[in-house]
Structure 1
Amino acid sequence: MKNIEDYVYLEPKLYADVIKNREPLFSNRFNSANVSGIDSIVLYATGSSANAAFAAAPFMSHVLHMPVQVEEPSFAANYGLFTNRHTLYIAISQGGHSYSTIHVVEELQKKGHLVYVLTSDPTSPISNIGQNILDMGMPIEEMPYVSAGYSVTILDLMLISLELQSTKETIFDIDKYVNRINHVIEEMPAAIKRASNWVNQQIPRLNEASRVIFIGYGAGYGVAREGETKITETVRITAQGKELEEYMHGPYLGLHQDDDIFFIEPQGRLQKRAVLLKNFLSEHVKSIQTIYSSFSPEASVNDLMLELDTDELLTSLFLTTPIHLLAYRWSQLKGHDLTVSAYPDFDKITGSKI
């Protein structure tokens, strides 16, 4: 069975495969007949799929010039399914077994709404009930704690937004963005190597950590959320993933001096705000690191510069690489067997998966 690290190193190839097959995957799935008049998009997802949705949403909104929201399917289906005929709904479930995502798809289809399902398993329960299935373009991930699937979901959503833009009667340079994505793919192996070296330096110091906090903005917000998810799942210590301004409005009051704080820095429009927060935190916390998407003259010895220069909205395609490597190697240092569920009776008792 492949592990999380194996999948990290596979990501450039998986990305390249999706780009190569983007026309059969997504072309002609959207046309002026079925997306005419759409003025907003809602993405339904949980867990890492939701993190990926948040990571892709800024790019999607920018390309489509419309609001792109991420919603919890359980909350929406039970308490807030106030649907709009001018909204395009996309439900994401990589494995296709999430009860809440399946439920919200069923409810939307009952009401006659257009909903697309993005999944990697065409034989899964969600594929069996979904009327419009979008293949992620990658094999089913063997490792239960997904990493490559999270990343490919981000790319899929970006390409879907470009495909939707192509149905509009406007002049738009899709090739410009595809070329930028290809540049990211070409530079990723070098970025992964830098991430790997940095993780090796961090692991000995981090092994005694009791709480980790990831802070991000823009495309980095979904990355921060994924940091919370993966460290919690694999290392099994307390982890948090916060949006920059969200953290400034309350959570900072719960600071501990021995917190390990990681800033996810896409080097975009809120970078100066992040610097202000780091200046404050440096007076109260011993350990602060920044994961920069590109080179930064402000980087300290414990920071990571992935040195991949691109549009800030595309940085989520690779900014999670060091976090996934960190989660895996740290979990192995803790002696956790990630091929075995820590609570094998959970899904059976709760019915969270079908």
Structure 2
Amino acid sequence: MKTMLDYINEEQEALENILHCFDVTKIDVKHVKHCLILATGSSYNACLSAKYYLEQTAPVYIEIEEPFNFLHYGKVDSKIDLIIAVSQSGKSASTIQAVEKMRQTKDIKTIALTSDMKSPITKVVDEVLDLNMGIETVGFVTKGYSATVLNLMLLGLSMAYQNKEIGTETLQNELLELNNAIEQIKSVIKKTSDFWVENQVDLTTGSRFIAIGYGPNVGTAKEFETKFTETVRLPSQGFELEAYMHGPYLEADRTHSLFFLENDNVLNKRSQALKNYLEEYIAAGYTITTRAKSEPKTLSLSIETPEKISPLLLVIPFQYLAYQIATAKGIDLSERIFDDFDQVLKSKI
């Protein structure tokens, strides 16, 4: 039986294959200017991580909604000319129902992103984009999360190229940047493994976890929240940098372990100022950064990559640490819990 760690270790190969198979004209996204994305859970976090790449590259305006609330209370902006429904399993009931409802009321092109080309969501959309990473059998998605982020970024390139916002040279440069990042994944895993060994005792005894990010890595912080909650099963939250400084910081105490996400950005100074201020009040403050830094409690990835691509790399340490901390705490992630949940609550079809 495969473990969550097995899928983490498969990420580089899987993403390299996705990039190799990419066809910029496969999905018709001509004339797209305003896009509504429907997703929930890790799929939502992946969309949030890819949003800035899409908007900077295409360019296109992106609105992301959680489908259940949107289904019952939402309103489609008249400017929306594309709806993307994201569901790795293809069985998310609320996402499927939201697409069905909108197709009945408005003539808008719909695309599904899924890893199962025979799943229910494929029956309710105009086109289907295969995430192209196989079926992930572990419930705590990792490879599928990264595949979703990459496929959305590539879809942004398709939008830009088909709408003549970029030419062949820029397209190739963007693909090269993505490839350079993907080639670093195994190195990121190794560096995270070393970081885990060095900080294992403190991380294992932690009882409250918080990640703080900005820009595209707000999505990474939110995926940290999802993954740690699912696996470590202790209070865990992900915050946007400034949002954390407007109230949530008042909760900080000696039980809190904070992760600060950084890349090559002027906002680093504000993030570092917050960490420096809080260090005397919390259990531990860790930094995970793409930059080269040699400081205690810092996971330095030493990778040069554009900020808009950095979520592909900065999420991996959290995936790895979630698995290791949960395992060190004696949680058997292969043992299914709440096995009848989807059946009783009808959250999956």
Q: Using structure 2 for the length normalisation, give the TM-score.
A: 0.95
Q: CA deviation at 1:269?
A: 3.8
Q: Which moved more, 1:239-248 or 1:203-212?
A: 203-212
Native 8 Å contact 2:4 2:140 kept in 1: yes
Change (3 A) 1:125 1:340: farther
Task: Quote how far apart the aligned CAs of 1:85 are.
Answer: 4.4
- Structure 1: distance between partners of 2:334 and 2:242: 36
Q: Structure 1 length normalisation: TM-score?
A: 0.93
Give me the whole-angstrom Cα distance separating, in 2, the residues matched to 1:57 and 1:237. 28
Q: 1:185 is aligned with what amino acid?
A: I
Instruction: Map Cα deviations across residues 92-143 of structure 1 (whole Å, 9 max, x no partner).
Output: 0001111111111111222222121100001111123222211111101121
1:170 shift after superposition = 3.6
Instruction: From the superposition, tell whether residues 266 and 69 of structure 1 become closer, same or farther in structure 2 (CA, over 3 Å).
Output: farther
Query: 1:351 maps to what in 2?
Result: 346
| Aligned partners of 2:57 and 2:160 also within 8 Å | yes
The answer to whether residue 23 in structure 2 is matched with residue 29 in structure 1 is no
The aligned amino acid for 2:321 is L
**1:180-228: CA deviation from partner (whole Å, max 9, x where unpaired):** 1111122222222111111222222122211100111112111111111
1:316 to 303, 306, 311: 311
Secondary structure of 2:336's aligned partner: coil
Confirm or deny that 1:182 pairs with 2:179. yes
- Report the 3-state secondary structure (helix = DSSP H, G, I; strand = E; otherwise coil) of the residue aligned with 2:183: helix
Contact 2:189 2:320 in 1 (8 A): no
Match of 1:51 in 2: 45
Aligned-partner Cα distance in 1 for 2:263–2:81: 29
The aligned counterpart of 2:11 is 11
Q: Taking structure 1 as reference, are residues 43 and 303 closer, same or farther at Cα in structure 2, changes over 3 Å only? A: same
Secondary structure of 2:134's aligned partner = coil
2:165 & 2:236 partners in 1: Cα distance? Answer: 44
Identity %: 36
Find the aligned partners of 1:171 and 1:267 in 2 and give their Cα distance. 25
The one-letter code matched in structure 2 to 1:27 is: T
Unmatched segments (≥5 aa) in structure 1: none
Q: In 2, distance between residues paired with 1:81 and 1:50? A: 18
- TM-superposed CA distance for 1:294, in Å, is 2.4
Specify the SS of the correspondent of 1:331.
Answer: helix
The reply to whether residue 267 of structure 1 matches residue 264 of structure 2 is yes
- Structure 1 distance, partners of 2:207, 2:227, is 15
Alignment counterpart, residue 67 of structure 2, candidates 57, 73, 91: 73
Answer yes or no: is the 8 Å Cα contact 2:160–2:166 preserved in 1: no
Q: Which of the numbers 87, 101, 104 marks the counterpart of 1:107?
A: 101
Asked if structure 2 preserves the Cα contact closer than 8 Å seen for 1:220 and 1:266, the reply is: no
Contact kept? 2:25, 2:162, Cα under 8 Å: no
Q: What is the rounded CA distance, in whole Å, between the counterparts of 2:111 and 2:175 in structure 1? A: 23
Q: Is the 8 A contact 1:85 1:113 kept in 2?
A: no
1:150 aligns with 2:148: no
Native 8 Å contact 1:219 1:266 kept in 2: no
1:253 aligns with 2:250: yes
Higher deviation after alignment, 309-318 or 38-47: 38-47
Q: Using a 3 Å threshold, how does the CA distance of structure 1 residues 119 and 171 change in structure 2: closer, same or farther?
A: closer
Matches within 5 A, 1:87-236: 87-110=81-104, 111-172=106-167, 173-236=170-233
Q: CA RMSD in A?
A: 1.5
Could you report, residue by residue, the CA deviation over 1:261-299 in whole angstroms, capped at 9, with x for unpaired residues?
001112324212212221221242231000001213xx5
Q: Secondary structure at the match of 1:105?
A: helix
- Deviation beyond 4 Å, 4+ runs, structure 1: none
Distance 1:227 1:203 in 2: 18
